[in-house]
Structure 1
C-alpha cells in the first residue's frame, strides 16, 4: 500500500547544490528539491518551458538560451553557490547533430558533449543524466554502442558511472514509464554500484493507478474547463491528498474542443483499445473530404487506458495519445501533470497545444518531456544517502 509519506517533501534542507541542464519545465529539479537539494541555476533553451520553470522555482536563476553559446562558465553562477555538488539533466543524445554531415547517432556530435563540458568544468561529486531506454541498444553508423561512447567520455572526464533503468511506477508515479539514468561519481569518491540504484518501494499490486491519480479533479466534458477551477470533491486517497497540498484550486484543466464525430469515436473505444479498434464508420476522415476514410490508423492514437492500473507512458504527444477512462475526451494538461506526479501547485505556462510550425514547447509537450518528479525525488534521496555515507 502507498501512504502519504511516500510523496512528502523533505523539509530538512541540506547544503547540497545542483545545476540543472536542459531543464525543461523542471521535473528533475522539482524532485531534487523535494529531497532537499538546492538548485541555484538551471539552463533551458525554450521560452515557455523556461517561463514554467521560473514560475515554479523562484529561488533558481534560469538562463534561457542556447547552451552551446554559454562560454564563460566561471561567471554563470555566484561564488556563494560554489562548489556545485551535482549536475542533473537530460541532454538530447539521439538524433541530434550540431552541424554538418556528422553521424547523428554518435553522442560526441550531440548536445551530450555540452553536459560533459559542464561536468568537466565544475567537477561535481556526482551527475545524473536521463535518457530513453533505446539509448542502451543504439549504435553509431560505425557499429559502436552509444552507451559505451558515453561511458568512455565520462571515464576520461574522471567519473565512474552506473547505468540505472528505472520504472517510475515503482517509485510512486501513476505511470508505467521506463527511463535510463547515467549516474556518475567522481573518481576520488567511493564507487558502489549497488548503492547507487534507488530501491523500488512499490510492488505491482501497490502502484498508484490512473483512477487514483486523477478522479478527484473536476469531471469536465469535451470543450469544458477554465484556466482556474475549484475542486469539485474531496481527495479520496493519499496520492490525491499529496497532489493537492497547499493548492488553492485546479489550473491547466481545460478539455479539448472535440467535434461530435470524434466524441462518438471515443464512445466506441474500450479499455486497452485505440482508434485502430473502432468500426470503419468511426475511423479518421480524410482532410478536406469528411465523406472518405483516411486509411491511416495509428494503434497508439486515442487509446483508453485501464483505470485500475498505472497509465502507460505519457509522451510529449500525449494530447492525442489517450482517452480519459470514463469521459469521452483526451486528457487535459492537468491530468497529464498528475500522471507525471507534478503537484497541483505546479502551474504550466505557454500555449496548451501548438501547431507543427510553432517553435515553442506547449504545456502538453513540457509535461510529457519531463522526468516525473517523484522518480527524480527517489534518485535524489538515494544520492543524499550515498553522499552522506561517503563523506
Structure 2
C-alpha cells in the first residue's frame, strides 16, 4: 500500500509505518535541516513544499496516487510545553492537512498531534472536513509508554477510512496495548551506562532527576544543561551532582530511532527534530493496527467474493 508522509520531519512516522509494512513513496516537509536528515535515512523522495499551499500540495501528492496519507502537523501552538494558543499561526496546519486529505481522497489517512488538540477550534474544523469528505473516524489518545516506547508521551491519533463507520479501528488500536508502561531499562537495558539522568523541569516545583527504571518524561524539542541554580528537589532519587543529561543520540533512542539512524546539523536543530518526531515504535504500533484491519477486511472481502 502506497503511503505519503506529510510534515514528515526527520522521519519517525515514516520509519514506523515502513516497519508496519507500508510502502512509503514520498515524504514532504518545509524544514531544510530535517529534509537533509530524512534524505540520508530513506531511499524514497523527500520533497520540500510548504503545505500551507494546499492546491500545490494536492498536485504533488496526487501524482503518487497514495492509498494512505499520514502526518503530524506541527503542534507547538497546542502543546502543554508550548504556547497553548492556537491563534499563533501553526494551528491552521491541521486544517490544511484535512483539506489536502479531503482533496486527494486516499482510502485511509492517519493524523497525529498532541492530546490537547481535541480542545481546539482547529481540530473541530479538521474533523468536520474529514467527515464531509466521507471518512469514518477513529479518534484515540495513546500513551507511547504502552505502545513499545520507553517514554510517557500522550498523543491524539485520528485514523480515517472512506465510507467506514466511526470508531472502526478502536478495537485494533486497543488490542496490543501493554498492561504496564515501558521503562528506559526495559528497552535499553544498561546500555546507557547510567542509572539516573537529569532533565530540566518545566518549573522548579518539579523534580529534575529521573531513574532509568521508569518511563522517560516526554522528550521535548529543546534540551538544556543542568542549570547552575538547580538546588535539587525532594523527589529527586539521587543528588543532582551524581547525574548528567542525556545526549541527543540517547534521546533519539528513547524516541525509538535505531542506532543506525543518522542525524546531522546543529545541536538545536537535531534536538528539535528528535523531540518533534513521532516515536518510531508508536507509529509502528498504529500502523500495525491499521495493517491488521486492512488485511482482515481484504480477507473477508475475498471470502465473500468466492
- Residue 184 in 1 paired to residue 160 in 2? yes
Determine if contact 1:88/1:128 at 8 Å carries over to the other structure: yes
For 1:63 and 1:69, locate their aligned partners in 2 and report how far apart those are by CA, in whole Å.
14
Secondary structure in 2 matching 1:313: coil
For the Cα contact (< 8 Å) 1:89–1:128, is it kept in 2?
yes
- Alignment correspondent of 2:265: 350
Name the SS of the counterpart of 2:218 in structure 1: coil
Matched, 1:65 2:49: yes
Where do residues 159-174 of structure 1 align in structure 2 (5 Å cutoff)? 159-174=135-150
Deviations 1:11-59 (A, max 9, x none): xxxxx1111111111101110000111111111111111111111112x
Matched, 1:91 2:91: no
Distance in 2 (alpha carbons) for counterparts of 1:275 and 1:67: 33
Equivalences for 1:372-383 in 2 at 5 Å?
A: 372-383=279-290
What is the match of residue 270 of structure 2?
363
CA contact (8 A) 1:198 1:379 kept: no
Give the corresponding residue for 1:195: 171
Contact in 1 for aligned 2:9/2:35 (Cα 8 Å) = yes
Q: Residue 209 of structure 2 aligns to a residue in which SS?
A: coil
SS state of the match for residue 76, structure 1? helix
Distance in 1 (alpha carbons) for counterparts of 2:156 and 2:91? 20
Tell me, yes or no, if structure 1 residue 45 matches structure 2 residue 30: yes
| 352 and 324 in structure 1: CA distance in 2 versus 1, 3 angstrom threshold | farther
Distance 1:47 1:153 in 2: 29
Is 2:198–2:243's contact at 8 Å kept on the other side of the alignment?
Answer: no
Rounded Cα–Cα distance in structure 2 between residues aligned with 1:93 and 1:368: 11
Q: Decide which structure has greater helix share.
A: 2
TM-score, length basis structure 1: 0.63
Over the aligned positions, Cα root-mean-square deviation in angstroms equals: 3.4
2:215 equivalent among 310, 321, 324: 310
Whether the 8 Å CA contact 1:198–1:378 is kept in 2: the answer is no
User: In 2, distance between residues paired with 1:319 and 1:300?
Assistant: 17
Aligned length: 281
Shift of 1:104: 3.9
Q: 1:127: Cα distance to partner?
A: 0.9
Deviation at 1:341, TM superposition (A): 0.8
**Structure 1 unmatched ranges of 5 or more:** 1-15, 97-102, 141-145, 221-269, 277-296, 354-361
Task: Quickly say closer, same or farther: Cα 1:67–1:159, change in 2 above 3 A.
Answer: same
CA distance in 2, matches of 1:77, 1:147: 22
TM-score with structure 2 length normalisation? 0.79
1:55 aligns with 2:31: no
| Structure-2 separation of matches of 1:321 and 1:89 | 34
Deviation of 1:367 (Å) = 0.6
Change over 3 Å in CA distance of 1:74–1:303 after alignment to 2: closer
